Structure 1
Amino acid sequence: MSYQVLARKWRPRTFHELVGQDHVRRALVNALDQGRLHHAYLFTGTRGVGKTTLARILAKCLNCTAGGYDDTAVTSTPCGQCDSCRAIDEGRFVDLIEVDAASRTKVEDTRELLDNVQYAPTQGRFKVYLIDEVHMLSTHSFNALLKTLEEPPPHVKFLLATTDPQKLPVTVLSRCLQFTLKNMPPERIVEHLGKVLGAEGVEFDESALWLLGRAADGSMRDAMSLTDQAIAFGQGVVRQVDVAAMLGTLDHGHLLALVEALAEVDAARVLSEVAALAEQGPDFAGVLDDLMGTLHRLAVAQMVPDALDNGHGDRETLLALATRFTPEDIQLYYQIGLQGRGDMDHAPDTRTALEMTLLRMLAFRPQGVPKPATTPLPISNTASTQGQPGAPAATAEVPESGSAPGGAERAAEPPPADPMPPTSESPPADPVPPTSESPPVDPAPPTSESPPVDPAPPTSEPPPWEAPAAEPAGQAPSVAAPEPVSAAPAEQVAVPDEPVADEVAAEPVTETHPSPPVSEESATPAGDSPTAAEPQGTVDHATWLARFDDLGLGGLTRNLAAHCLVEHDDGQRLQLRLDPSQAAMNAEVHVERVEKALLALGVTRRVNIEPGELPPGIETPRAMADRLNAERHAAAVQSLEADPHVQELREAFGARLLEASVSPQQRSGEAAR
């Protein structure tokens, strides 16, 4: 007996043997069992997903005579043994008329076909017309078919199949019951191929089946045909090496090695992996496409691990790789890859374009951002809007313990105390500098506990750090303690790069200079006595807020420091607590820049920045800037609302004020910034 290919040998003969398409199988089985039969069915989908197979199974169900010859004997489980079932399986059933519309497109062919519709079936219960690739019929052929398709004789059923339903007239679509067949996922194809090869007694590698499943591109028939080819290529066995050579596809292991090199930020290894790929003579544009597909799967693995597909049989490997990237890096690499793919047509050669795209990924990665040892999955984005331009400043809340590195240890520690209330020994801190609306601020008068501070002599040394000055006598302090963070409007921007008049103080003095210290006491941790001795000249959180802009920080370092609060200062080491949402930005290079900025202001400290939960009601410099900007914006909106000209426009034209477009007027001294 001649050899029968796998695609024909393993073609399903009942609904229960059908692989996939459960949504179609369920509808047809229920309709057959309940006797709710339509006169015209349309099956759509790509090649090799089972359109013609479904039509033949349905024809067998309609004509199986195992339960009798009346219409009530229609069943969803044909016996496969009666004369009708065997004739349909062997392709010799006289009442199943299969028409290839691609070769019979003329209206004369359609009219000849319809001339026999009126005659009763010869052998079966129904006369079934199976028209394949029905979209190839001409317009006149469709017009000739319409009337019969809408009102056929009771003994006639039309089964139409097409890969391009968009080409069918809506008049035909409206007369049919349409079923759309889905592409086969690689997991389903690999599972079915494993069963087929096991039944055939063929040895195989599971990794080889994954290559076949991906190459089939959703078509089960293509997968079976490729498997036949792989068996012949491998002399009776299916091995991963043979299948890769037969398909000419890229070894997925090389692609994962390339992704690992990106995770290590190792440019030398990246070029080495590209050189190893070049030995196989691949399509480098295809390599970049596969790389972007892998980056997409890594992003899915980071955000929703359960949604990660196993299309290459590498799900566990990708989950492990996803922990070695920050989500920002994944998004950046993907965007650069898309841009590089579009530039390949203009590159001298595709390998150069691929190498430049990979090197561009590493070059544009933010400097100073460390490689994460592990990124916990899934990545929570509850605080993803913090620190972004235009995002509102949310009210400070204490996250759950353990939500960030150091969170479990920090949760048990008391939050830093608010700056001390104004007393006779320690004047209240005031980060607001004198403006045209407020009188100048004089230094605090000397007392017995705090000797007067002589102004530093004019030298080339940098000015020292200074605590905030006191308010004039008889005037209430403008800021006595950090205020709770208030929500800012959506149009707010990031912390300004230059000092803002609402946030800075003036006249710095030295700490390392032989001059006496500026303040005798600073904010004490919660639970300690307010009179507990502290190192002289320490930096408290109020001073950090007041003098933050004097540090002159910029870029990522400024953004990182702006999300910190002062936790402790013992005169030697300054401990800063970082908002957990910014933990990915923490790096030694930023710590060194903060130390240098403090040194420029005369403060010598070893700085330590650790992520931890921020106590409620304590503002970071970023939160304070957002609050002040929100207050200025609200004042500007209120001023416009009360403006008589605006009120006249409202009354005359029904105008309304777009608050998002309101920008507060610059104060004196801000125009040059």
Structure 2
Amino acid sequence: MSYQVLARKWRPRTFHELVGQEHVQRALVNALDQGRLHHAYLFTGTRGVGKTTLARILAKCLNCTAAGAGDEGVTSQPCGQCSNCQAIDQGRFVDLLEVDAASRTKVEDTRELLDNVQYAPTQGRYKVYLIDEVHMLSTSSFNALLKTLEEPPPHVKFLLATTDPQKLPPTVLSRCLQFTLKHMPPERIVGHLSMVLEAESVPFEESALWLLGKAAEGSMRDAMSLTDQAIAFGQGEIHHADVAAMLGTLDHRHVLALIEALAEADAARLLAEVASLAEQGPDFAAVLDDVTAILHRLAIAQMVPDALDNGHGDRDDLLALAARFTAEDIQLYYQIGVQGRGDMSHAPDLRTALEMTLLRMLAFRPQGVPKPARTPLPMRGESGGGENGGSGSQGGSPAGEQGGVAPAAVEPSTPSAEAVSAPPPEAAPGPARETVPEPAPEPSVGPTSDEPPQQTSTPPWEEAPVDLNDAAAPASAPEGNVEPEAVAPDEAAGTAPTITPASEVDSEPPTEVAPEEAEPVPAEPTGDASATPAAESVASDGILTHEVWLLRFDALKLSGLTRNLAAHCMVENDDGEALHLRLDPSQAAMQAEVHVERIREALAGAGFDRRLVITDGELPGSIETPRQRADRLAAERHAQAVDALKADPHVKQLQQAFGARLIEASVKPSGEHAQG
């Protein structure tokens, strides 16, 4: 007996043997069981997904004589043993007319086909017309088919199949029930091939099946045909190396090796891998395409690990690789890869273009090529300081804290640094509060905080552009009188009385002493005054405690990403030789050797010259980082300013007279100066 190819031998005979088209199977089975049959069905989808197979199964369901289900004898489970079922499987059933529209496009062929529609079936219950590649019919053929397709005799069913439904006239589409068959994912193809090969007793390597599943491009029939070819190529067995050689495709493991070299930022290994690839004479443009495709999958693995496909059977490998990149690096590498692909036509040769593109990825990494940071998966959209994070850290933008934008590019002002470094007098807090006079009976908009008006030292992160979208962002704006624009009247019907312009309100002479006219008081540091004596006593021993760290932070004169990294740290231990800082885990991706060295140099300049070790870990709930303290103080000042405005008689008068409302987000505490 002659050999029968796998695609025909394992073609499904019933709906329950169908693989990967559950949505179509469910609709047809329910329609058959309930007797709700349409007269015309249209099956669309790419080649080899089961269009003709579905049509033949449906023809058997309509004409099976053994099952006898339903009033009309149709069934969703044909027996496969009766004469009609066997005749349909063998392609000799006289009442199943299979027409190849690609070879019968003329209108005369269609008219000849429809001449016999009016006659009753000869052998079966229904006369079934299966028109394959129906989109190939001419316009005249479609017009000849329309009337019969809309109102066929009760014993006729039309089953149409096409790979290009866009070419069908809308008049035809509106007369059919359309079912779109899906592409077969590689996972489904590999699973089915494994079952078939085990039944055929063919030894195989699973990695080879992934190559076949990927090469099939969603077609189960193509996968079966390639499997037949692989069995013959491997002399009855299927091995990874044989399938790769047969397909002429690049071994996916070589591409993963390139990605691993990128993860290690190892330029020498990167070039060695390219040299190893060159021995196989690959298409270097296709290699770059594969690298870019894996970078795309790595980005998905970082953001939504559950959405990562397993098209190459490498899902676990990619999840492990994704944790070795920062999100910024992957996005940068992807962009460079896409641009490098477009530049290949201008390069001296394709290998040079590939090598330069890969080297450019490493060259443009921030800080050159330091050790890559660890990225916890999955990444989350919010940033913050863990369980200790204040309102400012929770509302900040992750791109600002972990991306390439420096959150605080402006150096702290000199007066602020001097105020922090100078030891404050013990009695400073008390007299400072006494110098602020009580509001007059008709106060103008003025200072609203209980803090000393001379305090010009601003927390380091109030300058950060990352907090512009924060809920407490107005609290981090520079000091000054509360802006009258914060009071915005609602739109009123009719003509409203004239309201004094904001400029006039702001120009009214204040009844209290202005901040610059108050009695001079030594500036006190950003930290609480109650912590100052203890911090100074400990600092005199030459040991850096967390209290001293908070007190002296502004005096370190750090900026940019380095300042942001240091502001999320707490002092864990200082033995005089090594200083250990613990970093908030949410900022671990920012840690790099260049930042650690800058912090160490700043501490040495402040009198704490020792080895610096920064490790990430959860921070205790009772400890505040400089960032969290700055956010807390800013939020407190903002709340005090809002409360003062709500109690202001001018504001109340506007609210009562014109229905005005206070825009709390626009309130800026006094005593702060704008920073660009």
TM over 0.5: yes
8 A contact 1:48–1:222 mirrored in 2: yes
Q: What is the CA deviation profile of residues 325-352 of structure 1, one whole-angstrom value per residue up to 9, with x for unaligned ones?
A: 3444333323332232233233332222
265 and 372 in structure 1: CA distance in 2 versus 1, 3 angstrom threshold: closer
Structure 2 counterpart SS, 1:203: coil
1:301 Cα deviation (Å)? 3.7
TM-score w.r.t. the length of structure 1 is: 0.73
Structure-2 residue corresponding to 1:491:
469
Q: CA deviation at 1:282?
A: 1.0
Letter in 2 for 1:581: S
Structure 1 counterpart of 2:432, from 475, 484, 487:
475
Give the structure 2 partner of residue 560 of structure 1: 565
Amino acid at match of 1:474: P
Equivalent in the alignment of 2:602? 597
Instruction: Name the residue aligned to 1:289.
Output: 289
The residue identity in structure 1 corresponding to 2:469 is: E
Q: CA deviation at 1:161?
A: 0.9
| Contact 1:32 1:76 (C-alpha < 8 Å) held by counterparts | yes
Structure 2 counterparts to residues 412-431 of structure 1, below 5 A: none
Match of 1:150 in 2: 150
Give the Cα–Cα distance (whole angstroms) in 2 for the partners of residues 260 and 241 of structure 1. Answer: 22
Q: Does 1:522 align with 2:534?
A: yes
How big is each residue's C-alpha offset from its partner over 1:623-670, in whole Å with a ceiling of 9 and x where there is no partner?
Answer: 45556777899979x99xx9x9xx99xx99x9999999x797999986
- The one-letter amino acid paired with 2:586 is S
The alpha-carbon deviation at position 154 of structure 1 amounts to 0.9
Q: Distance in 1 between matches of 2:430 and 2:634?
A: 28
CA contact (8 A) 1:66 1:82 kept: yes
Give the C-alpha shift of residue 577 in structure 1.
3.3
Shift in CA distance, 489/317, structure 1 to aligned 2, threshold 3 Å: closer
Judged with a 3 Å threshold, the aligned counterparts in structure 2 of structure 1 residues 632 and 150 are, in CA distance, closer, same or farther, namely farther
What is residue 316 of structure 2 aligned with on the other side? 316
Q: Are the equivalent residues in 2 in contact too, given 1:467–1:543 (CA < 8 A)?
A: no
Preserved contact between residue 468 and residue 546 of structure 1 (Cα < 8 Å)? no
Deviations, residues 36-86 of structure 1 (Å, cap 9, x unaligned): 211111111111000001101111111112245996221122222222222
Give the gaps of 5 or more residues in structure 2: 396-411, 434-449, 481-520, 525-530
Q: Equivalent of 1:584, from 558, 564, 589?
A: 589
Q: Counterpart in 1 of 2:76?
A: 76
Higher helix share: 2
- Are 2:55 and 1:55 aligned? yes
Contact preservation (8 Å) 2:44, 2:164: yes
Mapped to 2, the partners of 1:544 and 1:182 lie a distance apart of 61
Bigger mean CA deviation after superposition, 306-315 or 468-477 = 468-477
Relative to structure 1, the CA distance from residue 195 to residue 395 in structure 2 (aligned partners, 3 Å threshold; closer, same or farther) is closer
Q: Greater shift after overlay, 308-317 or 539-548?
A: 539-548
Give the alignment's TM-score, normalised by structure 2.
0.73
Corresponding residue for 1:242?
Answer: 242
CA distance in 1, matches of 2:458, 2:544: 15
Q: Which amino acid aligns with 2:564?
A: N
Partner of 2:527: none
Write the distance in 2 (CA, Å) between the matches of 1:309 and 1:288: 20
Q: Distance in 2 between matches of 1:110 and 1:131?
A: 11
Give the 3-state SS of the residue equivalent to 1:72 in structure 2.
Answer: coil
Task: Give the residue type in structure 2 aligned to 1:393.
Answer: G
Partner of 1:407: none
Identity %: 71
**C-alpha separation between the residues in 2 aligned to 1:161 and 1:576?**
68
Measured after TM superposition, the shift of residue 17 of structure 1 is: 2.3
1:13-412 matches, cutoff 5 A: 13-67=13-67, 72-367=72-367, 371=371, 378-381=377-380, 383-384=382-383, 393-394=392-393
Q: Against the structure 1 CA distance between its residues 294 and 472, is the aligned structure 2 distance closer, same or farther, given a 3 Å change threshold?
A: closer
Task: Report the Cα distance in structure 1 between the residues aligned to 2:638 and 2:100, rounded to whole angstroms.
Answer: 72
Report SS of the residue matched to 1:33. Answer: helix
Give the superposed CA RMSD: 4.7
Cα distance in 2 for partners of 1:280, 1:506 equals 75
CA distance in 2, matches of 1:362, 1:46: 41
Contact in 1 for aligned 2:110/2:141 (Cα 8 Å): yes
Q: How many pairs are equivalent?
A: 580
2:25 match: secondary structure: helix
TM-superposed CA distance for 1:166, in Å, is: 2.3
Structure 2 CA distance for aligned equivalents of residues 629 and 373 of structure 1: 31
Distance 1:356 1:365 in 2: 14
Deviation at 1:248, TM superposition (A): 0.6
1:551 matched residue in structure 2: 556
One-letter code aligned to 2:534: S
Whole-Å separation in 1 of the counterparts to 2:345 and 2:663: 46
In 2 relative to 1, CA 193–241 (structure 1 residues): closer, same or farther, beyond 3 Å?
same
Checking the alignment, whether the CA contact within 8 Å between 1:522 and 1:538 is kept in structure 2 is no
Cα displacement string for residues 392-433 of structure 1 (whole angstroms, at most 9, x for unaligned residues): 72469xxxxxxxxxxxxxxxxxxxxxxxxxxxxxxxxxx999
Q: 1:283 to 1:666 in 2, by over 3 A?
A: farther
**Quick check: 2:579–2:610 contact (8 Å CA) kept in 1?**
yes
Partner of 2:603: helix, strand, or coil?
helix
Cα 1:656–1:246 shift into 2, 3 Å: farther
Structure 1 residue 542 displacement after superposition: 6.2
**Inter-CA distance 240–384: structure 2 relative to 1 (3 Å threshold):** same
Residue type at the aligned position of 2:141: S
- The code of the aligned residue for 1:287 comes to V
Moved more, 622-631 or 165-174: 622-631
Describe the SS at the equivalent of 1:157: strand
